[in-house]
Structure 1
Amino acid sequence: MLNRLAHVTLYVHDCEEALQFYTEKLGFQKRMDSKMDDGSRWLTIGLPDQELEIVLHDPTHWHREDVAQIMLQQVGKNPMWVWQTEDFEGTYETFRQRGVKFISEPHDVMYGKEVIFEDLYGNRFLMLQPTTM
């Protein structure tokens, strides 16, 4: 039986620029960074208090050219993920000052407060501070 989600993958055009965006703008930590003999790179990031790792995956060294091109067409088209915070205003202001692109204004909803932002490739993420029950 399955017991946990260990990794999720984001296709990227450039691992280094993606790493810089996620660590410097959003506060993720680099978890693994390994070069393989064939030139491919295994690069993961994660939040400080979370076990889940995000693979920043440039498929050009991992896959045949035709397969890599299909994967590269998916850059910026991931489904929206929801990131939770306990300090909505502080996190929003920090991200804004770091140049994160917001595509909505923060607003209150019946289950909390939320705003939508994008990464450097156009993937959309929702930041949520849920209402305390």
Structure 2
Amino acid sequence: MITNISLVSVWVRDIDESLAFYTDVLGFEARDDITLGEDFRWCTVGHPSQPELQVHLTTPSKPLSGDLIGAMQRAQAEGGLPGIGLYVDDCHAAHAELVAKGVEFIQPPEERPYGVEALMRDNSGNWMVLVEPRDYSPEDISRSDFE
């Protein structure tokens, strides 16, 4: 029986630069960093409060096909790949702190039925969402909240 999610992968342009971004800017901790052959590096980070969840920082490479690698690299260049969602205690304060560290935001903090939300990009262009959650029910959300 599945008990939990233990690993998510985030596609990055450069593992060293992303490792620095996730640890120095976002406050994650470095975990595994192992080179496995010429074309593959296993590099993970995680949030200190979630030891059971690792974020695998990986570049588009083999065994993916050349066409898929190219498509993913184009999507990265356009900033079109999804990243991860992060809960925060205070979205406005987290936004201000990350802006001061040079993080690019797509959307400043905005009120939503489920909390306060801001959209940012990591240093590889991946979309990341910061959410200061609040209690809600599905009935609290309407399509017009996102138009």
TM-score, length basis structure 2:
0.76
* Correspondence list, 1:83-98, <5 A: 83-98=86-101
1:65-103: CA deviation from partner (whole Å, max 9, x where unpaired): 626445544534333532111132332221111011111
Q: Is it true that 1:118 corresponds to 2:121 in the alignment?
A: yes
1:82 aligns with 2:103: no
Tell me: CA distance 1:39–1:125, structure 2 relative to 1, closer, same or farther (3 Å): closer
What is the percent sequence identity of the aligned residues?
30
* Separation in structure 2 between the aligned mates of residue 82 and residue 37 of structure 1, nearest angstrom: 31
Return the offset for 1:121: 2.2
Amino acid at match of 2:106: I
Per mean C-alpha deviation after superposition, the further-off stretch among 22-31 and 71-80 is: 71-80
Aligned to 1:130: 133
- Shift of the 42–92 alpha-carbon distance from structure 1 to 2, 3 Å rule, reads same
Residue 35 of structure 2 corresponds to which residue in structure 1? Answer: 35
AA aligned to 1:32 is D
Residue in 2 that maps onto 1:52: 53
AA partner of residue 59 (structure 2)? D
User: Unaligned 5+ residue runs, structure 2?
Assistant: 137-147
The letter for the 1-side match of 2:11 is Y
Greater Cα offset, 33-42 or 7-16: 33-42
Distance of 2:87 and 2:27 partners within structure 1: 13
